[in-house]
Homo-oligomer: A and B are copies of this chain.
Amino acid sequence: MKVVFVGAGNLATNLAVALQQAGHTILQVFSRTARSASALAERVGVPAVTDLSLLDHHADIYIVSITDSALLSFDYSVFPSQSLVVHTAGSIPMDVIPLQHRGVFYPMQTFSRQRIVPFDQIPLFIEAATDDDTRLLLQLAHTINHKVYQLTSADRLYLHLAAVFCSNFVNHCYTMSANILRQHGGLPFSVMLPLIDEVAAKVHSVSPREAQTGPAVRHDENVIRHHQALLADHPDLQQIYTILSDSIQKNS
């Protein structure tokens, strides 16, 4: 298929590389920022534009991969009416695109420009307003991945919320852990990596509820009180420690 990218961020970069490797033709990359437009355009060897009036009108699919707030104020009248226009956001409804041929192509992963994530590992959640467009999106998605799910905008919101817990909040737990380590004992954060890897690996074979370990699920109130005392100078961390420990106990 012929694809134009609108937006050149981390997700667009990873997706464009995957689509090109699967044999699709990237016609053009648009971004308001010349530097990011060029960076992605050079990576896939296609023209970059920063002016929407120069948008290529021959694509089958326009993939709009911009920030959530930019999606809300975008001028969708720039797209040719016969082409399918999709966004890639987890938490924005499909109908933010006021066109007949609209859809969503949401790869659920955390993307960084520095790391190319193999797209065949990333579940894709798709939605379109018509059956034909749904078929088109399914076809496109299956060329880069076999884990493709159709999901309504309403259910995608909950999926995205669940993903915030599994990624953003998990990563913040790592940050809080690194802060504690840095302030006491001077050990490098790398000592945590085997533990981090095993915690992630474990839930591949048992449910997270069954995998739970630690003082909270053991109701080891001595250790819990001791930890809370160690955090006396960090009231924010202490509150988080207490609330998460309580929540573990309620769930067990």
- Chain A residues packing against B (C-beta within 8 Å): 67-69, 72, 91, 108-112, 114-115, 117, 121-123, 147, 149, 151, 155-181, 183-185, 187, 189, 191-200, 202-209, 211-218, 220, 222-223, 226-227, 230-231, 236, 239-241, 243-244, 247-248, 250-251
Q: In whole Å, how far is A120's beta carbon from the nearest beta carbon of chain B? A: 10
Majority DSSP secondary structure for residues of A touching B:
helix
Given contacts A220-B68, A222-B69, contact A173 B163 (CB under 8 A): no
Q: Which of B166, B169, B171, B236 contacts A192 (CB 8 A)?
A: B166
A171 contact set on B, CB distance < 8 A: 199, 202-203, 208, 211-213
Q: Which of B155, B167, B173 contacts A169 (CB 8 A)?
A: B173
7 A-B contact pairs sorted by A residue (CB < 8 Å): A68-B215, A110-B213, A164-B227, A165-B180, A167-B213, A175-B208, A178-B208
Q: In whole Å, how far is A150's beta carbon from the nearest beta carbon of chain B? A: 11
B155–A185 contact, CB under 8 A?
A: yes
A211 contact set on B, CB distance < 8 A: 112, 171, 174
B110–A199 contact, CB under 8 A?
A: yes
- Give Cα distance in the complex from A39 to B179, angstroms: 40
A169 contact set on B, CB distance < 8 A: 173, 240, 244
